[in-house]
């Protein structure tokens, strides 16, 4: 069952993977797979707290929750989104893919259709559009059940917060770099890194420019959580 907790003023739902999937299938609206970077961006707070489902993605949030006394398993956004695509294919529901470079989203769409022959992808749009109105109109016409947005954060989350107003029956998930993985252009970390919760280390070694993004964000995030947990208010 869901158990919504707060970390640094952000709502987080502490479902396990299977319950998160079941719950997501039963709702419409916005799914955020939250990480410490998002929780360090003040623009994200209202969006996260208005989201219908917030799943803890990554070791940073898991650690933060642990410091606050919540034992929660992380849910990798890329795996969660993949499973939701599988469920859509199984249930005959339509899917839209928005984001990443044109060749990436095209290839991701092709690979998903190969993997799930029953999958109905009703709309494919790369993530470098400037005419948001047009993309919103395409979505309004097609009304896909599942909309995956891979525009990076906070862009994807802001886009979803706007788009969900016009598609009351759709489920939107911000999926970050998932299309890069599904297209085969980017490899996920090998199993051993994932088991040891070191996927971030693998990605940083492969893409050293990511170091700037996780450092100092991650240590500062942990310090903020420690302060919230152990330093009395007003100090």
Residues at the site binding ligand UDP, with contacts judged by CB under 6 A: 99-101, 127-128, 150-153, 155, 176-177, 179-180
CB of residue 38 to ligand UDP, shortest distance in Å: 8
Radius of gyration of the chain (CA): 18
Which CB, 36 or 93, lies closer to ligand UDP? 36
How many Å separate Cα 134 from the centre of its chain? 24
Which CB, 116 or 182, lies closer to ligand UDP? 182
Other CB atoms within a 10 A radius of the CB of residue 123 amount to 17
Secondary-structure percent of the chain, ordered helix, strand, coil, rounded to 5: 50, 15, 35
H helices present in 11-131, as ranges: 17-26, 44-50, 59-67, 77-91, 102-115
Which CB, 29 or 99, lies closer to ligand UDP? 99
CB of residue 196 to ligand UDP, shortest distance in Å: 20
Q: Which two tokens stand for residue 44?
A: 């994200």
By DSSP bridging, strand 10-13 and strand 4-7 are antiparallel
Reported residue count of the chain is 235
Residue number of the CB closest to ligand UDP reads 127
CB of residue 156 to ligand UDP, shortest distance in Å: 7
Which CB, 38 or 93, lies closer to ligand UDP? 38
Which CB, 34 or 93, lies closer to ligand UDP? 34
CB of residue 226 to ligand UDP, shortest distance in Å: 24
Q: Which two tokens stand for residue 6?
A: 């707060």
CB of residue 127 to ligand UDP, shortest distance in Å: 2
Q: Is the distance from CB of 15 to CB of 57 less than 8 angstroms? A: no
CB of residue 232 to ligand UDP, shortest distance in Å: 34
Which CB, 19 or 40, lies closer to ligand UDP? 40
Distance CA 151, CA 132 (A): 12
Q: Is the distance from CB of 171 to CB of 29 less than 8 angstroms? A: yes
CB of residue 137 to ligand UDP, shortest distance in Å: 19
Please, which residues have CB within 8 angstroms of residue 191's CB and are 6 or more apart in sequence? none
């Amino acid at each position: 069952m869901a158990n919504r907790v707060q970390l640094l003023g952000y709502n987080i739902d502490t479902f396990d993977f299977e319950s998160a999937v079941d719950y997501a299938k039963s709702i419409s609206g916005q799914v955020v797979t939250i990480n410490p970077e998002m929780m360090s961006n003040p623009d994200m707070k209202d969006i996260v707290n208005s989201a219908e489902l917030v799943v803890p993605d990554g070791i940073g949030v898991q650690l933060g929750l642990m410091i606050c006394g919540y034992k929660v398993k992380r849910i990798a956004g890329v795996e969660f989104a993949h499973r939701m695509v599988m469920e859509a294919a199984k249930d005959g529901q339509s899917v839209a893919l928005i984001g990443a470079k044109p060749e990436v989203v095209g290839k991701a769409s092709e690979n998903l259709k190969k993997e799930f022959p029953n999958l109905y992808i009703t709309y494919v749009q790369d993530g470098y559009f400037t005419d948001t109105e047009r993309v919103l109109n395409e979505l309004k016409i097609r009304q896909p059940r599942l909309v995956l947005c891979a525009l990076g954060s906070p862009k994807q989350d802001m886009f979803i917060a706007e788009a969900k107003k016009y598609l009351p029956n759709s489920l939107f998930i911000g999926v970050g770099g998932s299309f890069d993985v599904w297209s085969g252009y980017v490899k996920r970390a090998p199993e051993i890194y994932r088991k040891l919760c070191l996927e971030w280390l693998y990605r940083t070694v492969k893409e050293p420019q990511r170091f700037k993004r996780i450092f100092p964000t991650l240590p500062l995030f942990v310090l903020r959580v420690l302060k919230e947990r152990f330093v009395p208010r007003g100090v």
